[in-house]
Amino acid sequence: MATQTPPGFSISKNPNPFQNTSYCTDRKELWDVLYSVLPPWINVIFFFGLLGNLFALSIFFLLRKRLTVAEIYLTNLSVSDFMFIMGLPFWAENVQEQFIWRFGHVLCYIINGVIKAHLFVSVFLVVAISRDRYCVLVHTMSNQIQRSPKQARIICAFIWFLGGLLSIPTFLFRSVETIPNLNISACVLQFPHEIWYSIRIIELSVVGFILPLIAIIFFNSKIITSLRDRTKINIKRSGNTKDIKATSLILTLVIVFIICWTPYHCFAILEYLFWLKAIQGCFWEELIDLGLIFASFFAFLNSCLNPVIFVFMGKLFRVRVCEVYKQCTNRCSMPM
């Protein structure tokens, strides 16, 4: 079967993607199931993700002048999720059409570039959010020096710049190409030299996941240790309960993020090993191709679940919703 990986995610196994399309043809029934079953579920994620992120963003933006440092990071995460969600209908249609790209060259690289930028921006924001909690709970005395809304906005601006910078290869090398073996036109990555495949996996899985994951684990392990120590010595201080609840929200976001994105990066590394011929055979090709598709689906879920976590785990967010509701009702009740 061909290397039919999702738009925005594929690194392609060789300079001529899909060249081994006749290699594995005995799993056609699995692909037929994927073509018919996956697109509706992607559209479901799009619908609920769109509603959830619009709701979260409306609350954050209506109260933008009073946002805390943590809420500034969460606002940027919602913006990234929203931009990502907007590309899902194109991906659903692409899967349903058996990876025939019908949206033209411009949308090919714009949609995939935005998706790729989201991949980097979201993981860097999770690192920033974890670091912020680390500063609050582990370095309490220097908290005021290390945290401020202005600093948070500067960090977010840098993250967006970095995410855009790392997605430039996708903008440059994504194009609609005819695949003779399949007689289709697909939106694929066409790197000018083989060295780009090694650069890409380093950028994608090392810079975009492994190194951030190490930082996330470090910060959150320190946070958990700090919370455990506070519980043991039974510290009673104003705001301690508030800190613990806010930290529970952040830890939930982090855990869900790791669960959703780890499978995709594992299969991306396997895809690179296949390209290197470190692993070979029809079994591995089919496993990687199908695995990347379904792992990407779980990555999509992350952008849909984040607003749900805000509502059910974020007490402060629910307080913000009540504030907005009261403001709206007061304005509606004012005499004309």
Q: Does residue 307 lie within any of the structural domains?
A: yes
Q: Rounded distance, CA 72 to CA 228, Å?
A: 27
8 A C-beta contact, residue 275 and residue 196: no
What is the residue range of 119's domain?
28-226+235-331
Q: Give how far Cα 179 sits from Cα of 100, 185, 255, 288, 289, Å.
A: 10, 6, 39, 20, 17
Q: What is the pLDDT of residue 261?
A: 93
Q: Is residue 336 part of a domain?
A: no
Residue 256 lies in a domain: yes
For residues 175 and 105, the answer to whether their CB atoms sit within 8 Å is yes
CA angle 271, 277, 282 (to 5 degrees): 70
Compute the distance between CA of residue 274 and CA of residue 201 in angstroms, rounded to an integer: 12
Examine residue 1 and state whether it is found in any structural domain, yes or no. Answer: no
Stated pTM of the model: 0.84
Domain CATH for 114? 1.20.1070.10
Residue 12 covered by a domain = no
In whole angstroms, give the CA distance from residue 101 to residue 103: 6
CA distances from 14 to 94, 268, 272 (A): 21, 14, 10
The Cβ of residue 207 has, within 10 Å, a number of other Cβ atoms equal to 15
pLDDT of residue 46: 93
Could you tell me the mean pLDDT of each successive run of 10 residues in the chain, 336 residues long? 43 40 59 86 92 87 80 91 92 89 89 91 93 81 66 95 92 85 82 87 92 93 81 55 69 90 93 89 85 88 85 67 68 53
Tell me, yes or no, whether 177 lies in a domain: yes
Query: Tell me, what DSSP letter sits at residue 188?
Result: E
> For residue 80, what pLDDT is reported?
94
Instruction: Give dist(CA 185, CA 261) in Å, integer.
Output: 28
Q: Which two structure tokens, joined as six digits, stand for 324?
A: 């907005």
Res 22: pLDDT: 43
From 198, 217, 179, select the one nearest 99 (Cα to Cα). Answer: 179
Total domain count, the chain:
1
3 occurs within a structural domain: no
pLDDT for the residue numbered 76 = 94
In a domain, 6, yes or no: no
Query: How far apart are alpha carbons 21 and 11 in whole angstroms?
Result: 16
